Amino acid sequence: MYPRQQADVEETRMSEQLALLYELQLTDTGVTERKRALAGLDKGTAARAELGAAEERLAAAEKKLQDDTSALKDKELRLSSTEHERREKHSQAYGGTIADPKRLAALEQKIEELHRLAAKVEEEAFALMDLVEQETAGVATVKDEVARIRERAEDVEEHYRMDKARLEGEIAELGVKREELVGRIPAPLLAIYDQLRTKLGGTAVAAVDNYLCKVCHNSVPRDVVVRIPKAETPIRCESCHRILWVPEGEE
């Protein structure tokens, strides 16, 4: 093989290696971005907490309605009992069977007491009826609110499951691609890449576009651009110290 042919092979080899390295960087960046997105997914925790609070409000409202409904029934029973007793006393007093004035006066006093008691219980029952009506409407409103929040929480959780499955699938695919790329890149070049990626915030390779480093945007001399695909070892940007790569067409 003539010297010029050997140079062409070496140039192609380095150019391809840098292209593979840049593709590896895109793959690693894709994995990092998806892991970040995965960590930032809304699991529905806030929505579930809101739902829990709404369900507690509903439970409290239903308990209050139940208690007041029971109290109303007690009032109605007491009113019925009082009215029944008042009618019995009235029949005794004015049925023509009592001749003793003192006993009659006592019955009339009892009848008056029962009348006042019935009026009081009836007033309390009416107040409870209004309260129960309001609370029934309030429970219905909170039930609607709970249903809306539950639907929203389930929607958030469903989106979380879908997005999680999608991102995990993409991460797995990128992992397979990374293994394939790593198998085609020389170990020394990989070692440099991993070291720089750790040191320089995850970006170890910088493409050159119109004689500019696309990461730090500083100029790259023309002679350096020409040497990048021909060098035996990677050439690094003088400003940001990343490995420089000239995309096909820029050379």
How far, in Å, CA of 206 to CA of 213, rounded? 6
Domains belonging to the chain, first-starting first, are 3-30+186-245 (1.10.287.1490), 45-169 (1.10.287)
Instruction: Say if residue 15's pLDDT is above 90.
Output: no
Task: State whether residue 29 is helix, strand or coil.
Answer: helix
Instruction: Name residue 212's amino acid.
Output: L
Q: Please state the rounded mean pLDDT for residues 159-184.
A: 97
* pLDDT reported for residue 29: 96
Give every CB contact of residue 42 below 8 A, 6+ residues apart in sequence.
156, 159, 160
Contacts of 59 (CB under 8 A, 6+ apart): none
pLDDT digits (tens, 9 = 90+) for 208-250: 999 999 999 999 999 999 999 888 899 999 999 999 999 986 5
pLDDT of 134 > 60? The answer is: yes
Query: What is the average pLDDT value for the chain, to the nearest integer?
Result: 92
For residue 204, give both structure tokens.
Answer: 């170890």
Using alpha carbons, select from 169, 80, 85, 71 the residue that is nearest to residue 127.
71
Per-residue pLDDT at 3 exceeds 60 = no
pLDDT at 116: 95
**CA–CA separation, 143 and 106 (whole Å):** 54
Q: With contact defined as beta carbons under 8 Å apart, do 88 and 82 qualify?
A: no
| Percentage, residues of the chain above pLDDT 70 | 94
pTM over 0.95: no
The number of beta carbons lying within 10 Å of the beta carbon of residue 71 is 15
